[in-house]
Structure 1
Amino acid sequence: MGIRSTLPLCAVVAGTAALQIPLLSPHQQAPLEAADKTKPLINSSALQDLISGDRLFTRAKKLFDIAKLGEDEYNHPTRVIGSAGHEGTLAYIYESILQLGDYYKLDNQSFPAVSGNVFESRLVIGNSVSKSAAPMGLTPPTQNKQPVHGDLVLVENEGCQIGDFPDSVSGNIAFIKRGTCPFGTKSEHAGQKGATAAIVYNYEKDAVQGTLGTPSPNHVATFGLSGKEAGPVLEKLEKKDKVDAIAYIDADVKQIITRNIIAQTSEGDPNNCVMLGAHSDSVAEGPGINDDGSGSISLLEVATQLTKFNVSNCVRFAWWAGEEEGLLGSDYYVATLPEEENIKIRLFMDYDMMASPNFAYQIYNATNAVNPNGSEELRDLYIDWYKDQGLNYTFIPFDGRSDYDGFIRGGIPGGGIATGAEGIKTKEEEKQFGGKAGEWYDHCYHQLCDDLSNVNMTAWIVNTKLIAHSVGTYARSFKGFPKRTSSVASSAYESEAKYHGSMLYI
């Protein structure tokens, strides 16, 4: 791995750029001129033409080999944060950019993160083993990592106030309705009242796969339970019938240090920066070649081909760590960004899962009415490109599922594209994109089989070309794009964002 700069990225970049171009106020467009006369000014079509499926897949094979470094600890390939597979991923990205010479300024941004793994779990309600019960992300284990037995105690309301929990929950298992407040708050209240475990049930028939978020010493072992399975249990509890249960979770939650990798062009106006990101980590369960090896590789390939051009505006690539643990890296980056640096980021583009096998071309439905001004213009850029290629597209909610969330909350316009995760493809989408209706967009989402066989090369090439187009467009000019203002996420976005990463948090 290359030597890390001892200066913050903004200091290194600003210091370098000041020697090369006149200092401009934020949003004043830099002249459209080539700093290196041997290279042409960035052109979207020319950059798109350099995208190669063979190069993408060659990088995927390298990434899968790196994921195998996690086998000693996890018994299968993985690139989860804290693993040898993730450390190898970071080294590969860093060294690949380092080989591009002085075109980029590189920075490792270290930060504390929480790593959580569930090794084994089981929930028995009455005489039946639950089929839908799923341990919450970042859940602690049951006491001494052994099964605990107790009665299910129905919690009033949604468990958002400690007064919702009756004293009888002490020594028993809290049964809590999903909604309103974070799962971590519900689990914390259960622990404070002496519960040995907690179950958060859905008010809809679907399962609940969520995260407790930031660990608390009061959290207890917590499961999510589908509304379908919870229904008969709830009916008994409301009649004051006794229902006993056995809960067991063997889990590990620990603090580690990991890092984001940030690469910014040495040239280009540093006061008007195009930023884009993908996450470098996978879940513990698998190698994550689509999620989000595909996005990470797309960014790496676009960054490599971009070196053949000059840019008018600076371009900043980011590979986030800890996305699967709850957007840890991107949240940390935005939270520690000084206000004067925040305002220089004109927009952030998120690229998470570019190659789902049963894909749809998905665009985040980011509008200016709900999100920072400029988000809708970015959305429209994606729409126009798909139309120009004669391709169909569909909108998906902008609801906090990926690394754009911290930027939107920080007042930075954002958006992105995806190809689908565990969602079900509709019959209409089958007509639009092919594939098979009634099945997940990615049948290997968060599983061991997210390997080299789990990428659709057609979708991957198409979307990498669109990434190149987004970079090529804004690296050349922000003409017609709204100027940045100091703002924060709207209450409408806050109310719509029910996720913080891949899992529900309320």
Structure 2
Amino acid sequence: MGALIKYSSLALCAALAPTSALQVPFLSSNTQTLVQVTNETKPLVNSSALQDLISGDRLMMRAKKLYKIAKMGEEEYNHPTRVIGSLGHLGTLSYIYETILQLGEYYSITNQSFPAVSGNVFESRLVLGDEVPKSAAPMGLTPPTKNREPVHGTLVLIENEGCDSSDYPAEVAGDIAFIKRGTCPFGTKSEHAGRAGANAAVVYNYDKDGVHGTLGTPSPFHVATFGLSGEEAAPIIKKLENKEYVDAIAYIDAEVKTILTVNIIAQTTDGDPDNCVMLGAHSDSVAEGPGINDDGSGTISLLEVATQLTEYSVNNCVRFAWWAGEEEGLLGSDYYVATLPAEENKKIRLFMDYDMMASPNFAYQIYNATNALNPEGSEELRDLYIDWYEEQGLNYTFIPFDGRSDYDGFIRNGIPGGGIATGAEGIKTKKEEKMFGGNAGDWYDPCYHQLCDDLGNVNVTAWIVNTRLIAHSVATYARSFEDFPKRTVFTASSAYENQAKYHGPKLFI
């Protein structure tokens, strides 16, 4: 599992205390040995009883602490943030460790350090002809323009979708490639443009919406790359197809760097270690804000369920995970799954993803994971969420299983998965307004990836409901996997691959 380390309580608290957060040790080559401990003095976990221990007061108490931690990022970023590499994120890791360590020997806690690619765009500007398009957005993990200065050139319309090097004509050298979004990753398009000598690239959408994407794994041939809406691209395409010249100016001041960060894994010492129920949330925010809903809410829900679970014994082991680098493209969860030995992979019976549990303009959303497209058991997990909402007399809706959160790596590696959410930048419909209240026409989370994702950006009612559902999911599978499918050999579904256009919060195709 890569650099997976087991710490003593004393050493870990000292290493990860907020006052010394920059001194987190990154050790390697040690593998945790889990010890199964029977606990006959505690009753077997019961779903209703565990749910009853969840309170809004405790969730908000933790949220206030997390916001205070986010303010540790102010000196470097001029506002609260918990982005990876910041003091706010290191403080978050410290808080998670200390919370679990205070629970004594109920959990074995491990730290998995890994290299993460972090990108920041400090300033950007795109001018096409005499227009400054409103939808122009730098791609995630884009490099800067040459010397961090504006580059000038003529727009060159790239044939097809720019997925092959032969699509790029010689005249793109020294100019700016104008590329249609299509069937290959944005990083591939940027790399082809760079190899052809382009100064920059613009990827425009095939529909009217904007393109908020990421280049993914850095390449030395990537060039500064913007996304552009199909609506604003249309008149430009018409000019280029009519052989008219369109001058362009592109400017991006950005950095892409590799840092070390940490996944935190806490597993019950009780319960069958060969049959594990696993659940996760991501510990980081975007650079733009403190991330109290995204995903402070999921982080806190897991901490609270993990805390209350200590009142009970379990038949199957429960493994909580707090991933780093989700906002950079699911880096932590991808690394974790990729480094799992095959025999350890098989011990995970299912993975549940809990990202954004408390959006202000919420809908109760269930990932529409089916066995037809995903590892067997994904549909049974989906149905557990359906049954619970219906038992509570609550409405729910389905959302695509499209690669936007940390379930993606598990699904791609044969582990059944699913989860719930309350919505990000999507628009609430009139039908959903009747189902859940709130405001149709607004984002589910109006502060998604913004500075205002603070203590005022959580709906406590939704948060309590979903944390109780998390408790129910944990209690159900910690008691028994009866009637839940056994792990089977899984071949990645081309249908899932086709619908998974995201890798984390940004498009990559």
Task: Tell me, in whole angstroms, the C-alpha distance in 1 between the residues paired with 2:221 and 2:214.
Answer: 15
1:98 and 2:101 aligned = yes
Task: Tell me, in whole angstroms, the C-alpha distance in 2 between the residues paired with 1:73 and 1:253.
Answer: 17
1:158 and 2:161 aligned = yes
Secondary structure of the residue that 1:80 maps to in structure 2? Answer: coil
Distance 1:234 1:389, change over 3 A: same
Equivalent position of 1:356 in the other structure: 359
Task: Tell me, in whole angstroms, the C-alpha distance in 1 between the residues paired with 2:224 and 2:148.
Answer: 10
Equivalent position of 2:33 in the other structure: 12
Runs of 4+ in 1 over 3 A off after TM superposition: 1-11
1:108 and 2:129 aligned = no
> Which one-letter code corresponds to 1:376 in the other structure?
E
1:425 and 2:428 aligned = yes
Contact 1:12–1:105 (Cα < 8 Å) also in 2? no
Q: Measure how far apart 1:36 and its partner are.
A: 2.0
Secondary structure of the residue that 2:293 maps to in structure 1? Answer: helix
Q: What is the 5 A alignment of 1:180-195?
A: 180-195=183-198
Give ranges in structure 1 of 5+ residues lacking alignment: 21-34
Equivalent position of 2:384 in the other structure: 381
> Which one-letter code corresponds to 2:33 in the other structure?
V
Task: Tell me, in whole angstroms, the C-alpha distance in 2 between the residues paired with 1:94 and 1:37.
Answer: 26
> Which one-letter code corresponds to 1:452 in the other structure?
L
Task: Tell me, in whole angstroms, the C-alpha distance in 2 between the residues paired with 1:447 and 1:156.
Answer: 36
Contact 2:32–2:110 (Cα < 8 Å) also in 1? no
> Which one-letter code corresponds to 2:190 in the other structure?
S
> Which one-letter code corresponds to 1:364 in the other structure?
Y
Q: Measure how far apart 1:56 and its partner are.
A: 0.3
Q: What is the 5 A alignment of 1:42-53?
A: 42-53=45-56
Equivalent position of 1:59 in the other structure: 62
With structure 1 as the length reference, what TM-score do the two structures score? Answer: 0.95
| RMSD (Å), alpha carbons | 1.2
Q: Measure how far apart 1:5 and its partner are.
A: 11
Task: Tell me, in whole angstroms, the C-alpha distance in 1 between the residues paired with 2:387 and 2:300.
Answer: 24
Task: Tell me, in whole angstroms, the C-alpha distance in 2 between the residues paired with 1:400 and 1:95.
Answer: 31
Secondary structure of the residue that 2:44 maps to in structure 1? Answer: coil
Work out which of the residue numbers 294, 307, 312 in structure 2 matches 1:309: 312
Task: Tell me, in whole angstroms, the C-alpha distance in 1 between the residues paired with 2:468 and 2:247.
Answer: 56
1:68 and 2:71 aligned = yes
> Which one-letter code corresponds to 1:39 in the other structure?
K
Percent of paired sites with the same residue = 78
Task: Tell me, in whole angstroms, the C-alpha distance in 2 between the residues paired with 1:390 and 1:219.
Answer: 51
Q: Measure how far apart 1:489 and its partner are.
A: 2.2
> Which one-letter code corresponds to 1:12 in the other structure?
T
Secondary structure of the residue that 1:120 maps to in structure 2? Answer: strand
Task: Tell me, in whole angstroms, the C-alpha distance in 1 between the residues paired with 2:446 and 2:420.
Answer: 19
Contact 2:119–2:141 (Cα < 8 Å) also in 1? yes
Secondary structure of the residue that 1:470 maps to in structure 2? Answer: helix
Q: Measure how far apart 1:484 and its partner are.
A: 0.4
**1:413-462 Cα shifts (integer Å, max 9, x gaps):** 00000000000000000000000001100010000000000000000000
Task: Tell me, in whole angstroms, the C-alpha distance in 1 between the residues paired with 2:197 and 2:177.
Answer: 10
More displaced, 485-494 or 46-55?
Answer: 485-494
Work out which of the residue numbers 455, 459, 476 in structure 2 matches 1:456: 459
Task: Tell me, in whole angstroms, the C-alpha distance in 2 between the residues paired with 1:86 and 1:363.
Answer: 28
Contact 1:208–1:226 (Cα < 8 Å) also in 2? yes
**1:390-411 Cα shifts (integer Å, max 9, x gaps):** 0000000001000000000000
Q: Measure how far apart 1:384 and its partner are.
A: 0.2
Contact 1:5–1:106 (Cα < 8 Å) also in 2? no
Work out which of the residue numbers 484, 487, 491 in structure 2 matches 1:488: 491
State how many pairs are aligned.
488
Equivalent position of 2:412 in the other structure: 409
Task: Tell me, in whole angstroms, the C-alpha distance in 1 between the residues paired with 2:364 and 2:215.
Answer: 31
Give ranges in structure 2 of 5+ residues lacking alignment: 1-11, 16-24
Q: What is the 5 A alignment of 1:128-207?
A: 128-207=131-210
> Which one-letter code corresponds to 2:245 in the other structure?
K
Q: Measure how far apart 1:496 and its partner are.
A: 1.0
Contact 2:39–2:270 (Cα < 8 Å) also in 1? no
